[in-house]
A and B are shown apart, each in its own frame.
Chain A
Amino acid sequence: MMNNYLLFRLGERLFGVRMQGAIEIMPWRRARPVPLAYSYVEGVMDYRGAIHPVFHLAQLAGLSTPGPIGFTAPDQEAPKGKSIILLQEGNQPFGVTVDMVVKMSRLEDPEGNAPEVKGINPQLVRGVRFDDDQEIIILSFERLFHAG
């Protein structure tokens, strides 16, 4: 089945999430850090009166090494293009930071078991698709909140 996907970059790699779960895209802003949070948590942010967790997607996906325990949110200015994508999984809204939002694309939904993608946390990978000969790793966050 075809669906709309939001494509974005983390480092050199291209990723996609289904638009159905995407609420909003906003320029990166510093989240309020939470000491002793998981290493992939940037913090929490207030968005339209609700408190949302913000995840550092590169760390969550396994693309970068974890920071020190404690305050983990970067304090510096955001690099150009860095964004927060607000998503929803079940009833749980959350934000993920990405290096750059690329475009929306209509892709065939992944089917069957997710393939292993070298260097990417397998819990997030839903499948792989291609757009203009570029590999797109389709992510799913349905297992993100199981531990919490």
Chain B
Amino acid sequence: MEETTRYLILSLEGESFAIPITSLLEITVPRNLQKDAKLSEIFEGKYEYRGKLIPVINLKKVLKVGGGPGGSLIVIKSSKGVLGLLVDTAKELLEAKQQPAPLPRGIVNPSMRYYAGVLRNREDLVLLLNEDGLLP
């Protein structure tokens, strides 16, 4: 039997991105975010997740996509700890039989760590996010 890997597809201004389902902890709405003036511009505040305050980043600001902060909060775990991502929507689950293709060379600064590869979802190409590279 072919092995599949599952991903959560999320949307930012109409474009699709993905995170591995193994990193996903919760999908919710961004309510009661606690502002923290000490955090940099990409942070929208802190969110209480299971009794702990976790940082919430606005993924559109990280990727410089533009638009409002988004109506869904996705809580994920990363090597730097648990964090929240503000996105427009969590769209669907993707079961991929193929490994993600690497992002081709020469298109982003090699030191940039936001992407882990490219996935195919029907006719769409989906950028796979590197959950460990999103926090500064």
Contact = CB atoms under 8 A, between A and B. Distances in A.
Interface of A: 32-38, 41, 44-46, 50-53, 69-71, 92, 94, 144-145, 147-148
Given A44-B118, A46-B125, A51-B118, A37 B108 contact: yes
A104 to B, nearest CB: 27
Nearest to A35: B63
A50 B102 CA distance: 10
Interface of B: 13, 15, 63-66, 101-110, 112, 114-115, 118, 120, 124-125, 127
Contacts of B104: 44, 51-53, 92, 94
Given A32-B124, A36-B114, A50-B101, A44 B107 contact: yes
B70 to A, nearest CB: 14
A85 B17 CA distance: 27
Contacts of B112: 36
A59 to B, nearest CB: 13
Contacts of B118: 32, 44, 51
Nearest to A70: B64
Contacts of A41: 107-108
B125 A44 contact: yes
A34 B107 contact: yes
Contacts of A51: 101-104, 118, 125
Contacts of B101: 50-51
B106 A53 contact: yes
Contact of A35 (B65, B102, B110): B65
A64 B46 CA distance: 42
Given A46-B120, A70-B66, A38 B125 contact: no
Nearest to B102: A51
Contacts of B108: 34, 36-38, 41, 148
29 contacts: A32-B15, A32-B125, A33-B15, A34-B108, A35-B15, A35-B63, A35-B127, A36-B64, A36-B114, A37-B108, A38-B108, A41-B107, A44-B118, A46-B125, A51-B104, A53-B104, A53-B105, A53-B107, A70-B63, A70-B65, A71-B13, A92-B104, A92-B105, A94-B104, A144-B106, A145-B105, A148-B106, A148-B107, A148-B110
